[in-house]
Amino acid sequence: MQKKRIEKLMGNRFEITVEAEKTRDADQFLQVAVDEIGRIEEKLSTFKEQSETNRINRNAGIAAVEVSDETFQLIKRSQKISALTQGAFDISYGSLDKRFWNFDTRMTSLPDRKTAKSMVKLINYRNIILDDEKNTVFLKNRGMRIGFGGIGKGYAAEKTKELLKNMGVKAGIVNASGDLTAWGIPENGHKWTIGIVHPDFKDMPFSYLDVTDLAVATSGNYEKFAVIDGKKYSHTIDPQTGFPIQGIKSVTIICPNAEISDALATPVTVMGIKAGLGMINQMKDISCIIIDDFNNMYYSKNIRII
């Protein structure tokens, strides 16, 4: 039997599906999944006063903060992705001043480019200093802030999947607001079929994938945006310019690991079509679909869609 549970966690809609022989077992698995995501949220959330993230941020430019090995290793992996993407992915994006970048109906104008560029001066993953022996994290400059918005959902989905698999759940999906991971074969004998959302019609997939043991993440301008003087501005900010990205509506990453798929979707958007596809085409077992502002679609070399 198959059972589903929907919860708001980490500020996002999580939809967890498991297969089990009995309803009681399915309920237990779903509760374990919710508890695991909640545990991760307590560590990583910037909305939890005592989270490790906030302790690090409060001590920016002041002192190194000892954290759990789990958080330390996630930050370490994040820095590697930053280096790989030449800073297009950077967890120190939290330094951005939210007064300028509230992408909602109250946002009626953009700052000028000079102001925008000055706002990103604190974004630099190289200034996150890690001490492997002490498991400490030190943000070099006052005002620096880290956040896991670009990798946290995928990380939580991946950890939850591994936990459920270790408990004996042979098939399931953890879907974190479109960043999802699926494993096993459902009882109907077919792979999981998932839709790839179109940025202009977020409730209408433009294509489908049959997947198992794969993760899919999409970053798109349909998630959060502002319309100013008739022009749509995505919430994705170029860390080099401090200005919203233009030219790409959405990027979908498909790979075996949800943390990686989540973390790569935004930097490909920042890098642009040519550089983004060039990077993905050099990576093993990772595929990409890009839709530009004119609804043209671009695919990495190894993509297969139906």
How does pLDDT run across 36-94, given as a tens digit for each residue? 999 999 999 999 999 999 999 999 999 999 999 999 999 999 999 999 999 999 999 87
Separation CA 15–CA 94 (nearest Å): 27
Given pLDDT bands bounded at 50, 70 and 90, which one contains residue 95? confident
Mean pLDDT of the chain: 89
How far is CA 56 from each of CA 7, 43, 65, 202, 263, rounded to the nearest angstrom? 28, 11, 6, 36, 21
| Global confidence as pTM | 0.91
Which tens digit of pLDDT belongs to each residue from 235-248? 677 778 777 788 89
135-151 average pLDDT score: 95
Query: Is pLDDT at 279 greater than 60 in this prediction?
Result: yes
Radius of gyration of the chain from its Cα atoms, rounded to whole angstroms: 19
154-181 average pLDDT score: 96
Q: At what angle do helices 273-281 and 258-271 cross, to 10 degrees?
A: 140
Given pLDDT bands bounded at 50, 70 and 90, which one contains residue 108? low
CA dihedral 99, 101, 102, 105 (to 10 degrees): 110
Q: What pLDDT score does 237 carry? A: 76
Query: Is pLDDT at 6 greater than 90 in this prediction?
Result: yes
Highest mean pLDDT among 3-12, 118-127, 205-214: 3-12
Query: Is pLDDT at 100 greater than 60 in this prediction?
Result: no
Query: Is pLDDT at 105 greater than 70 in this prediction?
Result: no
Q: What pLDDT score does 76 carry? A: 98
In this structure, what are the phi and psi dihedrals at residue 185, rounded to the nearest 5 degrees?
-115, 125
Given pLDDT bands bounded at 50, 70 and 90, which one contains residue 102? low
**SS3 call for 30:** helix
Q: What is the DSSP letter of 127?
A: G
Separation CA 73–CA 232 (nearest Å): 37
Q: Provide the residue type at 248 as one letter.
A: I
In this structure, what are the phi and psi dihedrals at residue 169, rounded to the nearest 5 degrees?
-75, 110
